[in-house]
A and B are shown apart, each in its own frame.
Chain A
Amino acid sequence: MNNKIISPSDALDIVKKSIVKRRSRDNRLKLFGRIAIGLAVCFLLTLFYSIFTKGYPGFFQYYVTLDIKFDRERIDPKGDLSDNSLFDGEASKIVNESLYSIIQPKGRKERKIAKKIVSSGKDVRIAKMVKNNPSLFGTTAIVKFALDDDVDSFLRGYIKRETPENERRISDKAIQFIDKLNEEGRISYEFSDYILSGSASGNPEMAGIKGAFIGSMLTLSVCLLIAFPLGVATAVYLEEIAKKNRITEFIEVNINNLAAVPSVVFGIMGLAIFISIFGMPRSIPLVGGMVLALMTLPTIIISSRAAIRAVPPSVRDAAYGIGASKIQVIFHHVIPLAMPGMLTGTIIGMAQALGETAPLLMIGMVAFIVDVPNSVLDPGTVLPVQIFMWADFAERMFIQKTSAAIIVLLGFLISMNALAVYLRKKLERRW
């Protein structure tokens, strides 16, 4: 009798005994998985909760309602609505006078305090209004002006009335004036018209993300236009055309290594090559997009190659079998079938690029730029850099603005990912 092979009944006993152990091992694995997912969800919810509760107020700010007499001679002394003429006008004075008529400051010192309650952007606002609508001249209209950031912080309760006067950024007299305005029902809390349509500003109440948002769009467009065709072409060449030899292997290894290079290194490279050697201007979205394209290229190449490799060889055989040339096989069959995967990789790469700060700091996109960039050659900044800069500022109001900008950035990211899912679903052939 050969006793190396166990009899069936013995084997059954052994299997039965081991089954309990195996089951509990299965269950343990399941439990660990659930704990991991639960933790991830908790972190995510905490993150979203803190960002949204902090950032939501950033979209709102306090305004004061004033009656403004649109006196053409005072606002537009030359009468031609030119920037020069409006600059020479006395718009600020008119706003201040309207304010004084409500809170009645006595003497120069009090007037100085009163003046500061309203944001310094008041003359710009009036200039904009008359430019858009010159028929306002000669009428008296109700206009809302943003309050100064310290006043805003006070109204939000960040600056406490109980704090001794010399320890807070707002004087007792100013508080008195604010109370007066409040009594008159002149102060309102409204959706901010600066956060989405304003640009970088030293006055937090006037700061907005428009410039950074447009900058991000321009930078990403450049990045996409460079990285997508280059990445797809590289992937197609390496997978379909190049012979497998030492050189292609070497290129492959280096592409994979490139994907792991810290992004700041790409920034230094951009600074050294694009700006120093080629003499391109700094701070422009074109250079930013080029640097980000270098950074996203490996991601796009790797995912595109995976997508190409997943195209069934039978389709290639079929096309070659009826005499399609290599290029026809690639363009008629391989690329269309690999497109969903390529797009997914590209959008993941773009999402990375959208959130990138470090390489853009290197090429000077961190500059304080008030104008909204009109083209890829205008200096600009991008959302994450704007967030980084605002997070660095001392004024209390920038904290809310920072969170608000983060919400916008996240919204941008989520819509990009949604687009990726949509495109993949649409292009994926289910047949």
Chain B
Amino acid sequence: MLINNDLKTLDLTVGDVFSQNPRLKARNVSVFYGDNKAIDNVTIDIGNKEVISFIGPSGCGKSTFLRCFNRMNDTIDSCAVKGEITIDDENIYDKKIDVVPLRARIGMVFQKPNPFPKSIYDNVAYGPRIHGLSENKEHLDGIVEESLKRAGLWEEVIDRLDSPGTGLSGGQQQRLCIARAIAVSPEVILMDEPCSALDPIATAKIEELIHELGNDYSIVIVTHSMQQAARVSKKTAYFHLGKLIEVGRTKDIFTRPQHHQTEAYISGKIG
């Protein structure tokens, strides 16, 4: 107990925050909403082709932190990010960095399925179109097909690509959003509670999909469900009140948490 208390006062994260083969590196990242500090001095690596879960009680800042990786917080006027997040040793918060290519490299899937009010085809084709990724119509068709296949949606929508994306069921919509993110060939996919609006069957499908996608992409998933974190991710990070408390292999976090707060959360005492 003594050690844990020391760690708490020292603001250090327990566990191994570094990765041998990092894709994204966050160093001493703090996020402010006006004067309110939402994320406090977080350091963590996101490994290459690795699925990592961010867990923690509501309001702990895990979604805010996730949105730092593709600078989605830029759209909020009062939000300020300090510290450094690097991809290929380039600080993404550098003034020279353009968010447009950054967001093409780091895709995002949101909590609520949010397909565009367009056809299924146009939903997936939108990204490649705006980034000019396709050479011609056949190539674009190919990208759309491949993306939908990877998202496990192709079979279900093959004969209605022209019907509206918003007409699909919730789970299908979320997979459509994943296909849309995949279509621009990202390296990292950020998922902000992708299953919280879905029923258990749709959730199972998405989880399976995340598991498969983990072979090709680095995936960061924010989730409220510890079971989900345990099922889909290799690594897990526990956040509490804006601080990163503990990072480790998912197995270890859930079976042998080192920090007392992690333990309390895992065992259901807080959160």
Which residues of A line the B interface, CB within 8 A? 243-244, 312, 314-325, 328, 332-333, 337, 429, 431
**Which of B4-12, B111-119, B136-144, B202-210 lies at the interface with chain A?**
B111-119
Tell me whether B253 is interfacial, beta carbon within 8 Å: no
A residues in contact with B181, CB < 8 Å: 321-322
| B107-A321 in contact (CB<8A) | yes
- The size class of the interface chain B forms with chain A is 20 to 34
| A431-B166 in contact (CB<8A) | yes
B residues in contact with A321, CB < 8 Å: 70, 72, 103, 107-110, 181
Which residues of B line the A interface, CB within 8 A? 70, 72, 75, 77, 99-104, 107-110, 112, 114-117, 126-127, 130-131, 164-167, 177, 180-181, 183-184
B residues in contact with A243, CB < 8 Å: 77
A369 to chain B, nearest CB (A): 49
- The contact of A314 among B102, B112, B165, B167, by CB within 8 Å, is B112
A residues in contact with B100, CB < 8 Å: 323-325
| A323-B114 in contact (CB<8A) | no
A residues in contact with B109, CB < 8 Å: 321
| B131-A323 in contact (CB<8A) | yes
**A318 and B107 in contact (CB under 8 A), knowing A323-B127, A325-B100?**
no
**A315 and B117 in contact (CB under 8 A), knowing A322-B181, A323-B184?**
yes
- The contact of A431 among B112, B117, B131, B184, by CB within 8 Å, is B117
A316 to B75 CA separation, bound complex (whole angstroms): 10
B residues in contact with A322, CB < 8 Å: 103-104, 107-108, 126-127, 130, 180-181, 183-184
B residues in contact with A431, CB < 8 Å: 117, 164-167
A residues in contact with B166, CB < 8 Å: 431
B residues in contact with A318, CB < 8 Å: 110, 114-116, 177, 180
A320 to B107 CA separation, bound complex (whole angstroms): 10
Question: Chain B's interface: helix, strand, loop or mixed, by majority?
Answer: helix
- The contact of A323 among B75, B103, B164, B177, by CB within 8 Å, is B103
**A429 and B117 in contact (CB under 8 A), knowing A320-B75, A322-B103, A323-B104?**
yes
Q: Which residue of A lies closest to B166 (CB)?
A: A431
Q: Which residue of B lies closest to A312 (CB)?
A: B114
- The contact of A320 among B72, B164, B165, by CB within 8 Å, is B72
Contacts A322-B108, A323-B100, A324-B100 supplied; 13 other A-B pairs, CB < 8 Å: A315-B114, A318-B110, A318-B114, A319-B116, A320-B75, A321-B70, A322-B130, A323-B184, A325-B130, A328-B130, A332-B130, A337-B117, A431-B166
Q: Which residue of A lies closest to B113 (CB)?
A: A314
A243 to B103 CA separation, bound complex (whole angstroms): 22
B124 to chain A, nearest CB (A): 10
A412 to B167 CA separation, bound complex (whole angstroms): 39
B226 to chain A, nearest CB (A): 26
- The contact of B130 among A312, A314, A324, by CB within 8 Å, is A324
Most chain A CB within a 10 A radius of its CB, from B99, B109, B114 = B114
| B116-A323 in contact (CB<8A) | no
A residues in contact with B116, CB < 8 Å: 315, 318-319, 333
B108 to chain A, nearest CB (A): 4
| B164-A317 in contact (CB<8A) | no
A387 to B131 CA separation, bound complex (whole angstroms): 57
29 residue pairs from A and B, CB less than 8 Å apart: A312-B114, A314-B112, A317-B108, A317-B110, A318-B110, A318-B114, A318-B115, A318-B116, A319-B126, A320-B72, A321-B70, A321-B103, A321-B110, A322-B127, A322-B181, A322-B184, A323-B100, A323-B102, A323-B103, A323-B104, A323-B127, A323-B130, A323-B131, A324-B130, A332-B126, A332-B130, A431-B165, A431-B166, A431-B167
Q: Which residue of B lies closest to A429 (CB)?
A: B117
B residues in contact with A312, CB < 8 Å: 114
**A244 and B131 in contact (CB under 8 A), knowing A314-B112, A321-B70?**
no
A residues in contact with B115, CB < 8 Å: 318
Q: Which residue of B lies closest to A321 (CB)?
A: B108
Q: Which residue of A lies closest to B98 (CB)?
A: A325
A321 to B100 CA separation, bound complex (whole angstroms): 9
| B72-A317 in contact (CB<8A) | yes
| A317-B184 in contact (CB<8A) | no
Most chain A CB within a 10 A radius of its CB, from B103, B104, B181 = B103
A318 to B127 CA separation, bound complex (whole angstroms): 10
B194 to chain A, nearest CB (A): 12
A315 to B70 CA separation, bound complex (whole angstroms): 17
Q: Which residue of A lies closest to B109 (CB)?
A: A321
Q: Which residue of A lies closest to B164 (CB)?
A: A431
| B114-A314 in contact (CB<8A) | yes
B15 to chain A, nearest CB (A): 29
A176 to B213 CA separation, bound complex (whole angstroms): 102
A residues in contact with B127, CB < 8 Å: 322-323
B residues in contact with A429, CB < 8 Å: 117
B residues in contact with A317, CB < 8 Å: 72, 75, 108, 110, 114
